[in-house]
């Protein structure tokens, strides 16, 4: 029974990654079927559709920028701070749990520090 907890945790992570990709794939497949049916019926495709299919379009605000890196880094640092605080609070009752939780908090802390460094080093594109 104890094995179900870690398996559930990793299944949740897999679902968070796999399910959105699956739905995106289904959306693309339906779009391709619609376009195929239109071509088979002799309808011409507007140039906007062809351009949208061949270009790499990112929604506004999704492209990398120094400001976005700084915001992401700050969020990761606060996640690390929350985990560290959790470890210290748990450590009051269970001292053996403090150091592993602080070590676990180091991972998002270093990720946040890397994003902040990237945000400070990258020059904004003019």
Write out pLDDT tens, residues 22-76: 999 998 899 888 888 888 888 887 777 777 766 665 556 566 788 899 999 999 9
- Determine what percent of the chain is predicted with pLDDT higher than 90: 40
Instruction: Report which of 118, 119, 120, 106 is spatially closest to residue 76, judged by C-alpha positions.
Output: 106
The number of beta carbons lying within 10 Å of the beta carbon of residue 111 is 17
80 contact partners, CB below 8 Å, separation of at least 6: 105, 106, 107, 108, 109, 112
Cα 94 from Cα 83, distance rounded (Å): 15
- What value does the mean pLDDT of the chain take? 86
Phi first, then psi: give them for residue 66, nearest 5 degrees: -60, -40
Confirm if 101 and 84 have CB atoms less than 8 A apart: yes
Whether residue 83 has pLDDT greater than 90: yes
Whether residue 119 has pLDDT greater than 60: yes
Locate tokens 């679902």: which residue? 15
Cα 86 from Cα 22, distance rounded (Å): 35
């Amino acid at each position: 029974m104890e094995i179900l907890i870690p398996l559930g945790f990793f299944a949740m992570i897999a679902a968070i990654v796999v399910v959105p990709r699956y739905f995106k794939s289904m959306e693309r497949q339906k779009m391709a079927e619609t376009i195929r049916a239109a071509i088979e019926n002799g309808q011409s495709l507007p140039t906007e559709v062809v351009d949208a299919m061949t270009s790499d379009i990112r929604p506004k605000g999704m492209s990398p920028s120094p400001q976005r890196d700084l915001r992401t880094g700050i969020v990761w640092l606060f996640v690390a701070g929350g985990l560290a605080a959790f470890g210290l609070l748990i450590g009051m009752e269970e001292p053996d749990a403090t150091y592993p939780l602080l070590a676990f908090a180091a991972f998002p802390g270093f990720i946040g520090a890397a994003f902040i460094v990237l945000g400070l080093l990258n020059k904004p594109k003019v």
